[in-house]
Amino acid sequence: MIRTIAILTILLGILLIAGCEDNDCIFCDSNDVVVLDPAPQPPQGVYSITGNDTVYVYWNGPYEEDIKEYIIWRSYEEFDNYVAIGYRQADNNPNLDLIVYEYKDDSVTNGVTYFYAVTAVDDADQMSELSAESVFDTPRPDGRAVFYDRAARPDQAGFSFSPATVVPYPGNAANVYVDRDGNGVFYINAANIDVEIQGMGFTNSFDDIGWAPQAGWSANGWAEIVPGHSYVIGIRDNHGDWNYAKMRILVTDGQTGEVSFQWAYQPSPNNPELVAPPEIGNKNTHEPEADAREI
């Protein structure tokens, strides 16, 4: 123990005598005083948001003053083979505030699952370990469409999620279709026995439904259509696998029989992830394309 202390004392003494030059010494502060400068802590709170051919990655910067940048890593595996895909310049943070950062990865393919991690790099070019969270995402397509009560326009009464197309009902291509009862109330219906429907009630936005439920499907195969309500659709293929979709009703027109809606479809089998990117609000984030540089 005494020998170890003596060696450390000698090393520190050498550094004090040698001094430091700008930008080339990791043991000096701004006043040219020798200090121990450990590698930065990894970013925390890393998570992702699903988009259409896009994944948004978010993280909290560590409470350290000398963070220079962040590197975003991606892999097809959870624990190995991560490749750097881009970086973000760190904000100046002398007060050690909580800063939430964002990176937009638009070099992805819908239906493919990706794993993400982030590292922090300090002014001395020391890099942290990879962030600890297990973060994965599967981007999926979305859009808007209009279909009609089948009594009014049977050629545009159905909707197929793959491909996303308004189709006739009756017809083999439809996953769901629209009709009305004698009181003019609209209903969304399963087009065949391999389709399940669940009404999710009123939602403030399309983004409120992030994941498909695994139970609670309609026993009758239909649900009343109400503007502002969301619905989750389960579609079983010939192999017994499920694909999930969601819809949110925008407008219904009792005169024309029109129903306008938003939709999203997850092409990855048995993957219930459906969420889309939310508004960032007043979080302190970088704009997605402001300072991104691909590596």
Averages of pLDDT over each 10 residues, the chain, 295 residues: 41 45 49 75 93 94 94 96 96 92 96 96 95 92 96 97 96 96 96 97 92 92 97 95 96 96 94 61 34 29
Let me know: does 136 contact 48? Beta carbons within 8 Å. Answer: yes
- How far is 194 from 226, CA to CA, in rounded Å? 24
- How far is 14 from 86, CA to CA, in rounded Å? 39
Say what the pLDDT of residue 294 is. 28
Say what the pLDDT of residue 266 is. 92
Say what the pLDDT of residue 282 is. 31
Sheet of strand 67-75, all strands in order from the earlier edge strand to the far edge = 135-137, 114-122, 67-75, 83-89, 293-294
Question: Residue 88's Cα: distance from chain center in Å?
Answer: 18
Q: Is 58 helix (H, G, I), strand (E, B) or coil?
A: strand
For 23, 211, 239, 258, 274, the CA distances from 270, given in Å and listed in that order, are 51, 11, 11, 31, 12
- Say how many C-beta atoms besides its own lie within 10 A of residue 185's C-beta: 13
Q: For the chain, give the number of residues.
A: 295
Say what the pLDDT of residue 273 is. 82
- How far is 121 from 99, CA to CA, in rounded Å? 15
Tell whether the torsion through CA atoms of 203, 206, 207 and 211 is positive or negative.
positive
Say what the pLDDT of residue 278 is. 43
- How far is 290 from 292, CA to CA, in rounded Å? 6
Say what the pLDDT of residue 275 is. 64
Q: Could you give the residue ranges of the DSSP H alpha helices within the chain?
A: 2-18
- How far is 100 from 96, CA to CA, in rounded Å? 12
Q: Is 277 helix (H, G, I), strand (E, B) or coil?
A: coil
> 44-139 — its CATH code?
2.60.40.10
Let me know: does 176 contact 164? Beta carbons within 8 Å. Answer: no
Let me know: does 135 contact 117? Beta carbons within 8 Å. Answer: yes
Let me know: does 122 contact 139? Beta carbons within 8 Å. Answer: no
Say what the pLDDT of residue 220 is. 94
